Amino acid sequence: MDQSILEIALLEAKEKMHKVIMHTQSEFSNFRTGRASPALVERLTVEYYGTELPLVQLAGFSIPEARVLVVTPYDKGALGAIEKAIQGSDLGINPSNDGVVIRLNFPALTEERRKDIVKQVRQKAEDGKVAVRNQRRASRAELEQAEKRHDINQDLLERGEKELDKLTAESIAEIDRMLDTKEKELMEV
């Protein structure tokens, strides 16, 4: 009977659940809160000399005011391509180009739009919770297989299942905390 098999399985489950939490967090950062944030545009792909590149590789970002994001291209020749990529995105913001930088003015969100975004954020949170539960199911199946092969005994299997349930509960609680924070941020006027 090898307890290290149990420890390895639990460690892998913990790492995978942590990755789900980090992915959910990055999904949340894609939602606009009425404030300017580089996270809203840095993943936009820009066609630059025939190559698709993320905007973060082509420009720097600054936030001079709460609702203004300034995009400063490293190469002035990329200005038009960056502007075109922002206009073609689903941000719904019209960039203003002064020949040196691009300014994005984020309008205040309407109450209806805020509620719509909260629904989308809740869906992303639910997707994250489902992924955590799927990881628990996969890890539990791994442990059950190890028990069938007699690599671990029934006691270790039960202890592993309790630990998995605890990890799952902690991960889901973390996603719920992130969701609460994001909802408050979105509903703040």
HEC profile of 65-131: ECCEEEEEECCHHHHHHHHHHHHHCCCCCCCEECCCCEEEECCCCCHHHHHHHHHHHHHHHHHHHHH
Average pLDDT over residues 75-93: 85
Q: What is residue 34's predicted lDDT score, i.e. its pLDDT?
A: 67
Domain tally for the chain? 2
Q: What is the pLDDT of residue 126?
A: 97
Same domain, 26 and 115: yes
User: 105 vs 30, which has greater pLDDT?
Assistant: 105
- Which of residues 90, 105, 120 is at a domain's end? 105
Domain boundary, last residue among 48, 82, 105: 105
pLDDT given for residue 32 in this prediction: 67
Domain range enclosing 73? 38-105
Please tell me whether residues 149 and 84 are part of one structural domain.
no
CATH code for position 84 = 3.30.1360.40
**What pLDDT does residue 48 have?**
86
Listed residues 83, 105, 127: the one ending a domain: 105
- Is residue 49 over pLDDT 70? yes
Same-domain status, 65 and 154: no
pTM more than 0.75: no
Q: Is the same domain home to 25 and 43? A: no
Q: What is each CA distance from 129 to 31, 42, 124, 164, 177, in whole angstroms?
A: 18, 26, 9, 14, 12
* Long-range CB pairs of 46-52, under 8 A, 24+ apart, other chains included: 46/78, 46/81, 46/82, 46/84, 46/85, 47/81, 47/84, 47/85, 48/78, 48/81
Q: What is the model's pLDDT at position 187?
A: 81
pLDDT value at position 22? Answer: 95
Are residues 68 and 44 both part of a single domain?
A: yes
Question: Using 50, 70 and 90 to split pLDDT, how confident is the model at 24?
Answer: very high
54 in Cβ contact with 44 (< 8 Å)? yes
